[in-house]
């Protein structure tokens, strides 16, 4: 592994120079006040690509196993050098898994919806920029690989780094375009409220304890420049610790996610951090203190968070060492740019015969965006939501050459497809849920991503 260390750190400027390149992925720790926001990564010029198309759903878990082995082969093909003092991620596989890929992870789950786009895309990156937001330095790194199973070539690595440094000298500015996306709302408010009430019927019947139900908005297609410009505006309005901008084949993903799905260190220490419980931040300090106190005292939000924490504890127990899984923080309040959330932390030690891909499979889709029990909640979601979720509630992140991984949950995300752009928002429904209040919460989440949805005179 070769590198150049720069005494500057401007991920926005760097992303502006590379976002138009196919398969560029910006893992963007935009909320610099968050404890998980030290590092951002700009992954460029992949040397291999893995895609899973919608038609592969028919292969179920067998299809997933084959593709998982491909990613394992990328990671394990040959021993990679690491820079001891360098960033946590020094190259490997990075990309997304859409929620629509869920049947590949849960054999007993089948969706009635036909996906409108690819299910999974991962790219193998030997070259990337790692931004140390704390130390204000930039690592330009390359392993100098020609193919997934190739040996490292220092001369090629130096050439790749030199090319990146040349491009960083470009004086190009971010696209100054503000293209209105023209959102429409196929799910009317009355339909969403009806879905919430139907969910509560399922709870009363004993099917589930809770389910996460979403409504969706649709806009016209926009090109990658417009999508990037909109993303920069989004990250300024609502900076998030697990944000991302990905230019993939057939879709562009723009995410301001506050939520981590799962992470694991190279030594196998596992962390999951589900979010359940949301309230708006208030400009008035006294009102904001009252909002925080109300969230912490909310019986409904605490119960919801505890149920999902227990679900994730069980998921992790499948792949972690016996008795290593523990809840290290329960229902703490975390403050983000526009909202307060209740967050819990579950930790464990990955079993010696398991790897990061086994871990991802055990927790996907995340319990906080499905419900409990997970399978039945997903079946109810599939029945009540009228369109496929697409990338929404999937995950985006990386698996490093050293086996470490980190993935978000794709909430607060715009999914730009060739024919349309989609935005979904929702929340966990329990017996204590007030349908009108849940409608307001989902609209609050969507408003932070697309403020034009709720401007005066515009129906949502």
Catalytic residue IDs: 259, 276
The number of distinct structural domains making up the chain is: 1
Other CB atoms closer than 10 Å to residue 290's CB: what's the count?
A: 13
Please report whether residue 380 resides in a domain: yes
**Structural domain includes residue 179:** no
Q: What's the pLDDT at 435? A: 96
Scored b (16 or more CB within 10 A) or e, 47-78 reads bbebbbebebbeebeebbeebbeebbebbebe
In a domain, 178, yes or no: no
The Cβ-side half-sphere exposure at 117, using a 13 Å CA radius, reads: 26
Mean residue pLDDT of the chain comes to 92
The verdict on residue 460 lying in a domain is no
Spell out the per-residue pLDDT of the chain, length 460, in tens.
999 999 999 999 999 999 999 999 999 999 988 999 999 999 999 999 999 998 887 666 566 677 788 888 888 766 677 898 999 999 999 999 999 999 999 888 999 999 989 999 999 999 999 999 999 999 999 999 998 888 899 999 999 999 999 999 987 776 666 666 778 887 788 899 999 999 999 999 999 999 999 999 999 888 999 999 999 999 999 999 999 999 999 999 999 999 999 999 999 999 999 999 999 999 999 999 999 999 999 999 999 999 999 999 999 999 999 899 999 999 999 999 889 999 999 999 999 999 999 999 999 999 999 999 999 999 999 999 999 999 999 999 999 999 999 999 999 999 999 999 999 999 999 999 999 999 999 998 998 898 877 653 343 3
Amino acid 460: pLDDT: 35
Q: Looking at residue 61, what is its pLDDT?
A: 58
Domain of residue 122, CATH code: 3.60.120.10
Enter the pTM of the model. 0.94
Note whether residue 359 is domain-resident: yes
Burial status of residue 267 (CB atoms within 10 A of its CB: 0-12, 13-18, 19 or more): exposed
- Give the model confidence (pLDDT) of 399-452 as tens digits: 999 999 999 999 999 999 999 999 999 999 999 999 999 999 999 899 889 887
The boundaries of the domain holding residue 354 are 2-173+184-454
Nearest to 309 by CA among 275, 357, 355, 268: 275
Task: Tell me, yes or no, whether 248 lies in a domain.
Answer: yes
Residue 97 included in any domain: yes
Instruction: Find out whether 281 and 335 touch, Cβ atoms under 8 Å.
Output: yes
Would you say residue 377 lies in a domain? yes
């Amino acid at each position: 592994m070769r590198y150049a260390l720069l005494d500057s750190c401007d991920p926005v400027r760097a992303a502006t120079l590379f976002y138009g390149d196919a398969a560029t992925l910006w893992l963007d720790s935009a909320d610099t006040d968050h404890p998980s926001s030290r590092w951002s990564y700009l992954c460029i010029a992949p040397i291999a690509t893995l895609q899973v198309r919608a038609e592969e759903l028919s292969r179920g878990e067998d299809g997933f196993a084959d593709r998982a082995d491909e990613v394992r082969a990328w990671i394990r093909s040959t021993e990679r050098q690491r820079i001891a003092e360098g960033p946590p991620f020094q190259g490997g596989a990075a990309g997304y898994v859409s929620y629509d890929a869920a049947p590949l992870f849960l054999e007993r789950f089948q969706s009635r919806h036909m996906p409108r786009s690819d299910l999974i895309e991962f790219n193998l990156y030997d070259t990337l920029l790692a931004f140390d937001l704390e130390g204000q330095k930039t690592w330009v790194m390359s392993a100098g690989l020609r193919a997934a199973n190739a040996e490292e070539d220092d001369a090629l690595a130096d050439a790749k780094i030199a090319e990146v440094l040349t491009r960083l000298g470009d004086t190009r500015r971010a696209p100054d375009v503000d293209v209105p996306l023209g959102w429409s709302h196929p799910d009317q408010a009355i339909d969403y409220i009806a879905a919430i009430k139907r969910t509560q019927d399922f709870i009363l019947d004993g099917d589930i304890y809770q389910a996460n139900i979403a409504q969706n908005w649709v806009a016209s297609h926009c090109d990658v420049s417009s999508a990037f410009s909109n993303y920069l505006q989004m990250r300024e309005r609502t900076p998030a610790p697990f944000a991302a901008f990905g230019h993939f084949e057939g879709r562009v993903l723009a995410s301001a996610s506050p939520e981590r799905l799962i992470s694991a260190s190279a030594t196998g220490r596992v962390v999951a951090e589900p979010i359940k419980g949301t309230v708006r931040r208030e400009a008035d300090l006294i009102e904001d203190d009252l909002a925080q106190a109300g969230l912490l005292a909310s019986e409904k939000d605490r119960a919801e968070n505890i149920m999902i924490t227990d679900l994730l504890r069980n998921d992790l127990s499948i792949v972690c060492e016996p008795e290593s899984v523990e809840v290290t923080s329960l229902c703490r309040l975390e403050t983000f740019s526009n909202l307060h959330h209740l967050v819990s932390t579950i930790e464990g030690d990955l079993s010696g015969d398991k790897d990061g891909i086994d871990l991802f499979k055990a927790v996907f889709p995340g319990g906080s965006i499905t419900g409990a029990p997970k399978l039945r909640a997903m079946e109810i979601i599939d029945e009540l939501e009228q369109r496929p979720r697409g990338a929404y509630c999937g995950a985006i992140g990386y698996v490093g050459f050293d086996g470490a991984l980190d993935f978000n949950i794709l909430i607060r995300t715009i999914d730009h497809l060739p024919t349309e752009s989609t935005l979904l928002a929702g929340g966990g429904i329990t017996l204590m849920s007030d349908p009108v209040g849940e409608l307001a919460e989902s609209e609050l989440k969507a408003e932070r991503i697309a403020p034009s949805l709720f401007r005066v005179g515009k129906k949502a």
